[in-house]
């Protein structure tokens, strides 16, 4: 878009002051961010926190986390735009509970274990669109509602009450353009997901972002299998402290490295990352602030999703524990605002983000895991300048503790 033409200038102005660019949380972060920059201070945790290395290494600990945090508790599964139309589906490999989420004819969502009731193959792969799910092993066919529609070679198979062999259903909830699932079968836990309760105060912010509309279908990076504990992979997203050093030539060129706002919402949190030129705003009246040019709103959706709202797009990383304590699987999705910038520019930015992840962040998490696994150091320490990191670990402890005390 040309900013020199009259129409271009108008369009740019509209974008800059559009509702998503004037979000109340972005305004709050900007006000606080300017104060931090002016006073050379930071929003700090109460003290320095120590964390035992064993938290990242013990198999029993990982088993407990998977059961409590990933199977019994609702977790973020998708943005609605990933499953847009009747028949659209998305699979999700929650540890020990593969899931398929599918949009119904009436526009609602249902979710099932992605496990064929015959002999356990998957019924869907990746994401896409289907009228029925046909298992590729022997060809049993399931409707979008999970019901078993057809047993191949039916008579020959022998007597079977097909009404008892539908896919196993799990709870799903959708609001504000967010989709959450709970991987426990509904027969075991029939309670619907109370999404507002799960969001613990974040609902008004997501209502205001309006993710139901205005996001393009995502660019999706192939899941990356990496050799570190899942929590080390998450930790790297929760502080900008490492930008100046690890990301000296990348992220640190445009982001402030050691100042951020922090707010807790139950176990979730929001960090406000600040652009390096945010102090320019001090010269302007608030009504003219191009907010999203200077802040990034980083949502930690407990326990494993980091969703970032940027000026011209939204992206999230979703980190799943792997089969062993020293592995995790990272999914990364990027949703552009179609009216802001061209596809090519977003494509480049997407590739650049992948480069930073795969060349800088992931190797560092793997290096830390190897060093902890060597047994050479029994604990780590989180600074007062790393409040979101501290909050994440306290929230994990609290969830496990509550589960163990019933
Ligand atoms: S395992 Fe699915 S049809 Fe046999
Ligand atoms: Fe990083």
Count of CB atoms situated within 10 Å of the CB of 249 = 7
Model confidence at 6: pLDDT above 50: no
Percentage above 90 pLDDT, the chain: 92
Give the domain CATH number at 117.
2.102.10.10
Residues 298 and 150 in one domain: no
Burial class (CB in 10 A: 0-12, 13-18, 19+), 396: buried
d(CA 363, CA 360) in angstroms, rounded, equals 6
Per-residue pLDDT, 222: 87
> What residues contact residue 33 under an 8 Å CB cut-off, 6+ apart?
256, 259, 260, 261, 272, 274, 278, 294, 295
Would you place residue 9 in the very low, low, confident or very high pLDDT band (cuts 50, 70, 90)? Answer: low
d(CA 26, CA 6) in angstroms, rounded, equals 28
Give the domain CATH number at 19.
3.90.380.10
d(CA 255, CA 248) in angstroms, rounded, equals 10
Instruction: Name the nearest CA neighbour of 101 among 120, 121, 80.
Output: 80
d(CA 366, CA 161) in angstroms, rounded, equals 49
Residues 252 and 322 in one domain: yes
Would you place residue 300 in the very low, low, confident or very high pLDDT band (cuts 50, 70, 90)? Answer: very high
d(CA 331, CA 362) in angstroms, rounded, equals 12
Residues 290 and 216 in one domain: yes
Residues 165 and 47 in one domain: no
Residues 245 and 364 in one domain: yes
Per-residue pLDDT, 406: 75
Residues 382 and 258 in one domain: yes
Residues 152 and 216 in one domain: no
Residues 243 and 379 in one domain: yes
CB 117 near ligand 1, within 6 Å: no
Residues 253 and 140 in one domain: no
Do residues 171 and 191 touch, judged by C-beta distance below 8 A? yes
Instruction: State the Cα torsion 222-63-112-161 to the nearest 10°.
Output: 130
Per-residue pLDDT, 10: 67
CB 160 near ligand 1, within 6 Å: no
Assess if residue 348 is contained within a domain.
yes
Q: What is the mean pLDDT of residues 240-250?
A: 96
The per-residue pLDDT for range 171-183, each reduced to its tens digit, is 999 999 999 999 9
Instruction: Name the nearest CA neighbour of 302 among 218, 231, 357.
Output: 231
Q: Which of 192, 227, 260 is the last residue of a domain?
A: 192
Assess if residue 70 is contained within a domain.
no
Assess if residue 69 is contained within a domain.
no
Model confidence at 5: pLDDT above 80: no
What is the position in ligand 1's atom list of the atom closest to the CA of 120? 1
Number of structural domains (the chain) is: 2
Q: What is the mean pLDDT of residues 61-82?
A: 97
Do residues 272 and 260 touch, judged by C-beta distance below 8 A? yes
Return the ∠ at Cα 127 (arms to 125 and 128), rounded to 5°: 110
Does residue 250 have a cis peptide bond before it, meaning omega lies within 30 degrees of 0? no
Altogether, the residues listed in the chain come to a count of: 406
Assess if residue 64 is contained within a domain.
no
Å from CA of 113 to ligand 1 middle: 14
For ligand 1, atom 3, name the residue with the nearest CA.
138
Per-residue pLDDT, 3: 37
The per-residue pLDDT for range 259-269, each reduced to its tens digit, is 999 999 999 99
Domain that holds residue 222: 6-56+212-404
> Of the ligands numbered here, which is closest to the C-alpha atom of 361?
2
Residues 161 and 234 in one domain: no
Residues 278 and 225 in one domain: yes
Assess if residue 201 is contained within a domain.
no
Average pLDDT over the chain reads 95
The per-residue pLDDT for range 149-159, each reduced to its tens digit, is 999 988 899 99
Per-residue pLDDT, 135: 98
d(CA 169, CA 148) in angstroms, rounded, equals 13
CB 293 near ligand 1, within 6 Å: no
CB 137 near ligand 1, within 6 Å: yes
Count of CB atoms situated within 10 Å of the CB of 106 = 6
């Amino acid at each position: 878009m040309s900013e020199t033409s009259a129409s271009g200038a108008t369009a740019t102005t509209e974008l800059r002051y559009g509702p998503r660019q004037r979000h109340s949380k972005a305004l709050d972060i900007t006000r606080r961010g300017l104060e931090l920059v002016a006073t050379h201070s930071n929003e700090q945790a109460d003290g320095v926190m120590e964390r035992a290395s064993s938290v990242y290494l013990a198999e029993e600990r990982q088993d407990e986390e998977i059961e409590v945090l990933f199977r019994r508790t609702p977790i973020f599964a998708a943005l609605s735009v990933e499953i847009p139309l009747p028949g659209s589906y998305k699979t999700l490999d929650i540890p020990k509970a593969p899931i398929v989420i599918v949009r119904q004819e009436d526009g609602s969502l249902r979710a099932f274990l992605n496990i064929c009731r015959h002999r356990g193959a998957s019924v869907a792969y990746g994401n896409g669109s289907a009228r029925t799910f046909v298992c590729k092993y022997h060809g049993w066919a399931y409707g979008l509602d999970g019901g078993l529609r057809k047993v191949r070679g039916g008579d020959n198979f022998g007597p079977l009450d097909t009404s008892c062999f539908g896919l196993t259903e799990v709870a799903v909830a959708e609001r504000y353009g967010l989709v959450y699932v709970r991987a426990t079968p509904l027969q075991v836990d029939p309670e619907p997901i109370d999404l507002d309760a799960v969001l613990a105060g974040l609902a008004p912010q997501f209502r205001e972002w309006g993710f139901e509309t205005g996001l393009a279908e995502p660019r999706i990076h192939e899941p990356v299998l990496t050799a570190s504990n899942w929590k080390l992979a998450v930790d790297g997203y929760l502080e900008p402290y490492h930008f100046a050093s690890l990301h000296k030539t990348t992220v640190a060129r445009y982001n402030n490295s050691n100042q951020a706002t922090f707010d807790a919402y139950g176990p979730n949190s929001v960090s406000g990352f600040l652009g390096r030129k945010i102090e320019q705003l001090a010269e302007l009246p608030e009504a003219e602030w191009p907010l999203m040019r200077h802040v990034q709103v980083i949502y930690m959706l407990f326990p494993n999703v980091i969703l970032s709202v940027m000026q011209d797009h939204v992206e999230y990383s979703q980190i799943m524990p792997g089969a062993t304590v020293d592995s995790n699987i990272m999914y990364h999705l990027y949703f552009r605002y179609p009216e802001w910038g061209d596809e090519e520019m977003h494509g480049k930015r997407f590739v650049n983000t992948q480069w930073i992840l795969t060349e800088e962040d992931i190797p560092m998490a793997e290096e830390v895991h190897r060093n902890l696994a060597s047994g050479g150091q029994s604990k780590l320490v989180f600074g007062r300048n790393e409040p979101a990191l501290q909050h994440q670990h306290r929230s994990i402890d609290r969830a496990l503790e509550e589960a163990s005390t019933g």
